[in-house]
Amino acid sequence: MSFSEKPIGIFDSGLGGLTLVKAIKEKLPYENIVYLGDSLNVPYGDKTPGQITEFAFWNTQFLIEKGVKAVAIACNTADGTARREIQECFTLPLVGVIAPAAEKAASLTRNKKVGVIATQAAVKSGAYERALRSYLADCQVFSAPAPRLVPLIEAGKITSEDSDTVEALREYILPLRDKGIDTLILGCTHYPLILELVKDIVPGMNIVCSGTASIGALTEKLRAAALLNTSGVRGTAEYFVTGDPTEFGRHAGVFLGENIEGKVQKA
């Protein structure tokens, strides 16, 4: 196997990063993937910065031991808290989800008012504010922690019939809309599953999904390092979790769009 045919490593605190796996399979079909869900420690959003950094370090180390050529941090909380430290420790190409989403939002906003919903830890880190202002210095950023969304999404409550989810979204998003934002970042890789619900609540607003927005940045990093897989052979994916593989596999299909029950390994 040539180095360019080695897999891309992706980690998240649990299931949400599978939306990035799905996007890579669609946009970069020849790439092989190794996914690690740190389901033993989910959620990261209520952990300390020190704990999150430790988890991110060991997740990255695990993927490197699996022979990956690059790492994608598919977790907003880990990206906002630990990416700089991870980059200092490892030399392989590293892509997060925050900077690509911020860059896209900065290019879309016309009134320079951007809203963000994310986990408590991601909001507290201020990473989106810093990233947005690095692309648009006078951008006004309005952030809201959305602690109820991840449990609701993982419970499969992602349709307009799920009143708890719709109510939570309205609670988090409408105050941001009232601030006059014209662009909203969904700052968690779980949130693409409720994109249509968000569109119904704020029709006509620019909406950026972190994670899927990072595909362009990942592609460019791989191209710059001559690491894009051009073999023409459809890539494969391996799935590992730190928690219960059976439980993870049971719920993964909602995020991935395919059934991987029985294919998830214990890390």
The answer to whether the beta carbons of residues 236 and 24 sit under 8 Å apart is no
Active site residues: 75, 188
Domain ranges, ordered by start, for the chain: 3-96+213-266, 98-210
Kindly report, residue by residue over 141-169, the tens digit of the pLDDT.
Answer: 999 999 999 889 988 899 999 999 999 99
pLDDT category, 1, cuts 50, 70, 90?
confident
DSSP-based three-state secondary structure for 44? coil
Distance, in Å, from the CA atom of 75 to the CA atom of 9, rounded to the nearest integer, reads 13
CATH code reported for the domain at 98-210: 3.40.50.1860
The reported pLDDT for the residue numbered 207 is 97
Residue 206 pLDDT exceeds 80: yes
The answer to whether the beta carbons of residues 180 and 77 sit under 8 Å apart is no
Kindly report, residue by residue over 220-237, the tens digit of the pLDDT.
Answer: 999 999 999 999 999 999
Mean pLDDT, residues 253-262: 93
CB atoms within 10 A of CB 257: 13
**Architecture of the domain delimited by 3-96+213-266:** 3-Layer(aba) Sandwich (3.40)
The answer to whether the beta carbons of residues 172 and 146 sit under 8 Å apart is yes
Do 98-210 and 3-96+213-266 fall under one CATH topology? yes
Kindly report, residue by residue over 20-47, the tens digit of the pLDDT.
Answer: 999 999 999 999 999 999 999 988 878 8
